[in-house]
Amino acid sequence: MRRTRDGVAQPFSGYGVTLQRDDIAKLANFINVDHGAVAGQQLVDPKMLRAALQQDPSDRGLPASADEYRYHNGFWAWNAQHVLGCKSETWIPFMSGYGGIAVALMPNGFSYYYFSDGGVWAWARAARETDRIKPFCER
Q: What is the pTM of this model?
A: 0.85
pLDDT in tens, 16-68: 567 889 999 999 999 999 999 999 999 999 999 999 999 999 999 999 977 79
Q: How far is CA 115 from CA 17, 64, 78, 137, in A?
A: 15, 23, 18, 26
By C-alpha distance, which of 85, 77, 70 is closest to 137?
85
DSSP 8-state class, residue 55 = -
- Residue 90 predicted with pLDDT over 90: yes
pLDDT value of residue 67: 79
Beta strands in the chain (DSSP E): 37-38, 41-42, 62-64, 69-72, 75-79, 91-97, 101-105, 111-115
- Of the pLDDT bands very low, low, confident and very high (cuts 50, 70, 90), residue 119 is confident
pLDDT value of residue 98: 84
DSSP 8-state class, residue 63 = E
Q: Where are the domains of the chain?
A: 21-133
- Residue 15 predicted with pLDDT over 70: no
